[in-house]
Amino acid sequence: MVRYRLANEEDIAPMTAIRLGVGENRLPDPAWLTREKWISALSTSGNATTWVAERAGQVVGFATGRIAEADIWALFVDSRHEGQGIGQGLLARVAAWMFDQGVGEIRLGTAEGTRADHFYQRNGWQRGELTDKGEVVYRLQCKVLPAAGSWPERPHPEPGN
């Protein structure tokens, strides 16, 4: 069973391992991903929130949404757990949170022709232009708020997190 919850500082190491372990959308400079970058992505930052997906107590995926930038900064799933709906669960939670915060349109970028490129298309995101870095821009608009209870359950920080 997969459990979703808000990330905390203890999750930085497993999130880093997942992010640096991907086969596609690799960071050109892994040293860029500092502890400070992660801390700014946690809910305590006031601008961003990160969810993790856990299976058997292990972090197997994470996703971060940022309000000021109106974007999804990251969504990654451990390759051993891909294809099991974890990415969709994370994406739904981040989008719901961002729309609840008043973001009208969410953007993200991903490398063209990757599994992520196809993932966002399959999940209803509008594929847009290519950036000068060769990334595809995706957008999701909040046109109509869903009926009560149709979003995934809102995660709440647990005591001590």
Entry pTM:
0.83
Give CA–CA dist 38/32, Å, rounded.
Answer: 11
Distance CA 34, CA 47 (A): 18
Residues ≥6 apart with Cβ < 8 Å to 115: 24, 82
**Mean pLDDT confidence for 89-112:** 93
C-alpha distances in Å from residue 81, one per residue of 18, 62, 86, 87? 11, 12, 8, 9
Q: How far apart are CA 103 and CA 81, in angstroms?
A: 30
Q: What is the pLDDT of residue 72?
A: 95
CA atoms in the 13 A half-sphere facing the CB of 61 = 24
Q: Round to whole Å and give the CA distance between 146 and 43.
A: 24
For residue 140, pLDDT beyond 60: yes
pLDDT over 70 at 146, yes or no: no
113 pLDDT exceeds 60? yes
pLDDT of residue 143: 67
- Sorted by where each begins, the domain ranges of the chain are 2-103
Q: What is the pLDDT of residue 144?
A: 53
* pLDDT greater at residue 140 or residue 146: 140
Mean pLDDT of the chain: 85
Distance, CA of 22 to CA of 38 (rounded, Å):
17
pLDDT band for position 52 (50/70/90)?
A: very high
Distance CA 21, CA 18 (A): 5
Enclosing H/E stretch for 74: strand 71-77
User: What element of type H or E holds 75?
Assistant: strand 71-77
CATH class held by domain 2-103: alpha beta
- What is the SS3 assignment for 128? strand
